[in-house]
Amino acid sequence: MNFCSHCGSDQLDLRIPEGDNRERFVCSACGTIHYLNPKIVAGCLPVWEGKVLLCRRAIEPRRGYWNVPSGYLENGESVEAGALRELWEEAEARVALSGLHAIYSIPHINQVYIHFLGELLDGAFGVGEESLETRLFAEEEVPWTQIAFTSSTFTLERFFADQRAGRRRFHLGSF
């Protein structure tokens, strides 16, 4: 951090503020404490007739790899709204959310993924501006070596394990 977002000063010190227990950037000019917190990634695993909808990424990172439709949550947006927005942007699909499926933390890059499950409405989907292609996959068809992120692998593995066991559970994991 080079400048205070409150007053514009370049007088920032990395120190532990009084009453805190972690280093923070503190502006010496105005006293503002800058809290840098993890990014929330919201997503949804769309399901249709036992298959899952994945998107092949048209953007970096991991362009050309497959993932669960997801992306960074916007300010002023609920997690559910963010997951639905990302699904539309990547797959031009709409779902009826059926609940929370997984929370997956990646502490070393300050990210928390929140993935929902959703039933595709009428099985309809397309190719959004952030995707090269979209496709429904049965478990044995998933291109496992071409999955973009560990969060998507985690979500997919847990979904198919639940499907085989005839149950639906919430999953918590980290990398």
| 77-129 pLDDT tens trace | 999 999 999 999 999 999 999 999 999 999 999 999 999 999 999 999 999 99
State residue 169's pLDDT score: 97
State residue 124's pLDDT score: 96
CATH topology identical between 1-36 and 39-174: no
Class assignment of domain 39-174? Answer: alpha beta
pLDDT tens per residue across span 145-158? 999 999 999 999 99
Task: Report in angstroms the alpha-carbon separations of 40 from 31, 51, 92, 107, 113.
Answer: 27, 26, 22, 12, 6
Mean pLDDT of the chain: 97
State residue 96's pLDDT score: 97
Domain residue ranges of the chain, discontinuous segments joined by +: 1-36, 39-174
Q: How confident is the model at residue 159 (pLDDT cuts 50, 70, 90)?
A: very high
* CB-based contacts of 116, cutoff 8 Å, min separation 6: 42, 43, 44, 45, 80, 83, 97, 98, 99, 100, 101
Contact 150, 106 (CB under 8 A): yes
Topology (CATH) of 1-36? Ubiquitin Ligase Nedd4; Chain: W; (2.20.70)
Q: What is the DSSP letter of 151?
A: H
State residue 93's pLDDT score: 98
